[in-house]
Amino acid sequence: MIKLINVDIIITSDRTMMTNHHGREFLGFMATAPAIGIPEGIWMAICCPKPRVDEFGRPIEAPYGLRKIEAALQDAGYNAYIIDPDHLNKYKDNAKILMIGHHDFFAYGPPSSEWWLLTGREPVNRRSFFKLMESEAVNTMRKRGVKIVVGGPAAWQWLWEPELVEKWGINVIIEGEADEYIVDITSKLLNDEPIPRYVVIGARESPRIDKIPIIKGASVNGLIEITRGCPRGCMFCSVTLRPLRHIPIEKILNEIEVNISYSVKGAVLHSEDVLLYGSYGIEPNPEPVLKLHQMVIDKVESIAWAHASVASIVVAQRRYKLISSLTNIMYSKLEQNYLGVEVGIETGSPRLAKIVMPAKALPFKSEEWPEVVEEAFAIMHDHRIIPAATFILGFPNEEPDDIVKTIELLDRLKKYRSIIVPMLFVPMGALKHEEGGIVGMRITPEHAEAMRVAFWHTITWAEDILTKFYMKGIRYEPIKLLLKVFLWYAKRRMKDIEEKFLPNFTGKDLSIRLAQK
């Protein structure tokens, strides 16, 4: 017998978002690529397994951003719930509003766009999202006149697909932090009041800490927000337009308790720079960072960091030995022998760094950027912190020598355990009106060489990480075997490219939209 609850507002996403990636966040990056070397069904099983759901079709773990929207609406008295995409049919005849969030609706963001351009094949996240939007359940709701709202970090991508806005009957697109404003938007939709199709919540309208709700259900892999915004002001990033706000420890612990109540016992501390928790500048304040970690460690079985700045890593270790202190308590008290984190290299060129991210190196000078990056990688290597690092190609005002400097930095990083992924510039933040990057850029021999160097760095260290650190236990062995098959296939393909393509490569014009339409 099918059990239902009263749901007026459905909140959902496609399978590449509604999953816990087997409890390993880095596997989620596979969803940004096309299935390579193995059938797509197996590929999805590796990176995006179906989550546990309750008797009503509600996922036990769901994306943190969707949990915030769900909490805000429930606090306001609405019957709003996150529903797994495979269970939408249960509610297609009764829902009044369908809300869909995503990090990369159409695969125009990094690193999806890079995979798409390089392989000429649609990434699985785009294919999965189209499958959701053209499903029987969503089509039924659309025909019934259900209001459809989309939002999240990739809201800007709908501006590039106006024909799909019309085809799929999108009523409202929301860009920005919607925790506080989603209630008013919902009220207007339910009362058929006029509302702009594209709603932008600017930096000055970002909600105060007391207006950010506490999640009601578990977040994917225990991801918990500890700060919002960033003070570094990189021109290519939209997050840095928003003020830096620190979530009080009591709220953080409250959300961890929610996760634990659903048997999610790890924590991913989310921030644009975890080491800036409790700081109101660009240098770490060790006391609140240590206090936070000590209190979180008393409640969870494992910790990961979402993001950290390489400059903060260097300052934290040089001045306070903070990296040593944090990893010592984590490795001694928790069930882990490494720490995962995402970091941004962005470029190896001091000249370009000074133009597009003048505060990224602070308190160091932009001219010291390559040395700061290398020192941070050395610190992380020594403390078994495994970074998933990115760098960007195709910046406005980029010159060939800038890319050469990046290649030189990549060569210096070869001895440090890490995953390094190239990305193409996406017009965002203060540079959102600039042309270049995935909109249409010329891939030069220098770009190709940077990608090649990053590929071999990543493949080499991925095998080491997979063997010594990642996914320990019998239950992960089938997944590890499939990943090893993929690495073997990827190496073989790259060797073919090196032998047949790169020697005669003179540059290539690439554009997702031109290639597909």
Residue 338 included in any domain? yes
One domain for residues 47 and 109: yes
The pTM for the full model equals 0.91
Return the exposure string of 387-422: e unless at least 16 CB atoms fall within 10 Å of the residue's CB, then b. bbbbbbbbbbebeeebbebbbebbeebeebbbbbbb
Dihedral of the alpha carbons of 369, 372, 376, 381, in degrees to the nearest 10: 90
Residue found under tokens 């709908």: 158
Quote the tokens at residue 30.
């596979």
One domain for residues 367 and 344: yes
369: amino acid identity, one letter: W
117: amino acid identity, one letter: L
One domain for residues 86 and 117: yes
Give one word for 79, left, alpha or beta, with left for phi > 0 and alpha for psi -120 to 50: beta
pLDDT for 512: 41
C-alpha atoms less than 13 angstroms from C-alpha of 133 in its C-beta half-sphere: 21
Residue 496 included in any domain? no
pLDDT for 222: 97
One domain for residues 231 and 345: yes
Residue 498 included in any domain? no
Sequence-distant contacts of 334-338: CB under 8 A, at least 24 apart:
334/297, 334/300, 334/301, 334/302, 334/303, 335/301, 335/302, 336/302, 336/303, 337/384, 337/469, 338/384, 338/385, 338/386, 338/469
Tell me the per-residue pLDDT of 121-164, one tens digit each, with 9 for 90 and over.
Answer: 899 999 999 999 999 999 999 999 999 999 999 999 999 999 99
Task: Name the residue range of residue 403's domain.
Answer: 210-465
Is residue 259 within 8 Å of residue 295, measured between CB atoms?
no
DSSP, res 510: E
Residue 416 included in any domain? yes
Nearest C-alpha neighbor of 183 from the set 64, 81, 73, 65: 73
Is the model's pLDDT at 181 over the cut of 80? yes
Mean pLDDT, the chain, integer:
90
Tell which of 205, 228, 261 closes a domain.
Answer: 205
Q: What is the CATH number of the domain that holds 451?
A: 3.80.30.20
pLDDT for 505: 64
One domain for residues 285 and 253: yes
One domain for residues 223 and 243: yes
DSSP, res 456: H
CA 378 to chain centre: 24
One domain for residues 201 and 289: no
Tell which of 161, 176, 205 closes a domain.
Answer: 205
Tell me the per-residue pLDDT of 391-422, one tens digit each, with 9 for 90 and over.
Answer: 999 888 899 999 999 999 999 999 999 999 99
pLDDT for 431: 52
Is residue 85 within 8 Å of residue 135, measured between CB atoms?
yes
Residues in the chain, overall count: 517
Residue 513 included in any domain? no
Number of independent structural domains in the chain: 2
Tell me the per-residue pLDDT of 312-339, one tens digit each, with 9 for 90 and over.
Answer: 999 999 999 999 999 999 999 998 999 9
Is residue 78 within 8 Å of residue 190, measured between CB atoms?
no
In whole angstroms, give the CA distance from residue 460 to residue 463. 6
Q: What is the CATH number of the domain that holds 85?
A: 3.40.50.2300
C-alpha atoms less than 13 angstroms from C-alpha of 173 in its C-beta half-sphere: 21
How confident is residue 169, by pLDDT bands cut at 50, 70 and 90? Answer: very high
Residue found under tokens 């869909």: 100
Which SS3 state, helix, strand or coil, does residue 344 take?
A: strand
Residue 470 included in any domain? no
Q: What is the mean pLDDT of residues 281-299?
A: 96
Nearest C-alpha neighbor of 339 from the set 300, 375, 386: 386
One domain for residues 173 and 311: no
354: amino acid identity, one letter: K
pLDDT for 510: 45
Nearest C-alpha neighbor of 122 from the set 104, 107, 111, 105: 107
Which SS3 state, helix, strand or coil, does residue 309 take?
A: coil
One domain for residues 200 and 229: no
In whole angstroms, give the CA distance from residue 374 to residue 49. 36
In whole angstroms, give the CA distance from residue 348 to residue 406. 4
Tell me the per-residue pLDDT of 419-453, one tens digit each, with 9 for 90 and over.
Answer: 999 988 876 554 555 555 555 667 788 998 998 99
Tell which of 465, 480, 501 closes a domain.
Answer: 465
Nearest C-alpha neighbor of 93 from the set 10, 149, 188: 10
Give one word for 393, left, alpha or beta, with left for phi > 0 and alpha for psi -120 to 50: beta
One domain for residues 225 and 241: yes
pLDDT for 380: 98
Is residue 199 within 8 Å of residue 180, measured between CB atoms?
no
Residue 483 included in any domain? no
Tell me the per-residue pLDDT of 242-258, one tens digit each, with 9 for 90 and over.
Answer: 788 999 999 999 999 99
Residue 443 included in any domain? yes
One domain for residues 174 and 318: no
Per DSSP bridges, beta strands 441-443 and 97-101 are: unpaired
In whole angstroms, give the CA distance from residue 275 to residue 309. 8
One domain for residues 454 and 397: yes
DSSP string over 370-421: HHHHHHHHHHHHHTTEEEEEEEEE--TT--HHHHHHHHHHHHHTTTS--EEE
